[in-house]
Structure 1
Amino acid sequence: MAQKATKTLAASNTSRLNQTLYLTLFIHLLYWALRGILYRSTFTRRSLLLYLLLSAPQLAIQFLFERQSRPVLTPDGALTRAGEDLEAKGLTEYMWDVVYWTYGVIFFVAVTGDWAWWLWSVIPAYSVYAAWTTYTGMRGGYTDAAGVPQPQAASKRQAKMEKRGDKKVAYR
Structure 2
Amino acid sequence: MANASAKKTVVSNSAKIKRMDKMYLIVNGIYILFRFIVFYSSLSWKLVLGYLFTLTIESYIYIQLYRISQPKFDLQENLLSSGQDLSAPGLVSYMFDIIYVTWITHILSLFTNYAWWIYSAIPLYMIYTLGGKLIALLKYRNSNSNSAQPPTKSNRSEKMEKRKTKVKYAR
Question: Partners in 2 of 1:12 and 1:139 — Cα distance?
Answer: 40
Does the aligned pair in 1 maintain the 2:65–2:92 contact within 8 Å?
no
Query: Structure 1 residue 43: deviation in Å?
Result: 3.1
Give the % identical residues.
Answer: 27
Question: Partners in 2 of 1:90 and 1:40 — Cα distance?
Answer: 40
Gaps of 5+ in 1: 142-172
With normalisation by structure 2, the TM-score equals 0.72
**Amino acid aligned to 2:126:** S
Task: Report the equivalent of 1:68.
Answer: 68
Does the aligned pair in 2 maintain the 1:109–1:116 contact within 8 Å?
yes
Does the aligned pair in 1 maintain the 2:58–2:98 contact within 8 Å?
yes
Distance 1:42 1:76, change over 3 A: farther
Task: Report the equivalent of 1:139.
Answer: 138
**Amino acid aligned to 2:131:** W
Gaps of 5+ in 2: 141-171
Distance 1:79 1:35, change over 3 A: same
Query: Structure 1 residue 92: deviation in Å?
Result: 1.4
Question: Partners in 2 of 1:49 and 1:16 — Cα distance?
Answer: 29
With normalisation by structure 1, the TM-score equals 0.72
Aligned residues: 140
**Amino acid aligned to 1:55:** L
Does the aligned pair in 2 maintain the 1:14–1:71 contact within 8 Å?
no
Query: Structure 1 residue 98: deviation in Å?
Result: 0.7
Query: Structure 1 residue 109: deviation in Å?
Result: 1.1
Does the aligned pair in 2 maintain the 1:30–1:110 contact within 8 Å?
no
Which entry has the higher C-alpha Rg, 1 or 2?
A: 2
Please list the CA deviations of residues 52-101 of structure 1 after superposition, one character each: whole Å capped at 9, or x if unmatched.
Answer: 11222111110001111123457986534311111222211211111111
Question: Partners in 2 of 1:32 and 1:73 — Cα distance?
Answer: 38
Q: How does 1:10-159 map to 2 (within 5 A)?
A: 10-36=10-36, 38-40=38-40, 42-72=42-72, 78-112=78-112, 114-141=113-140
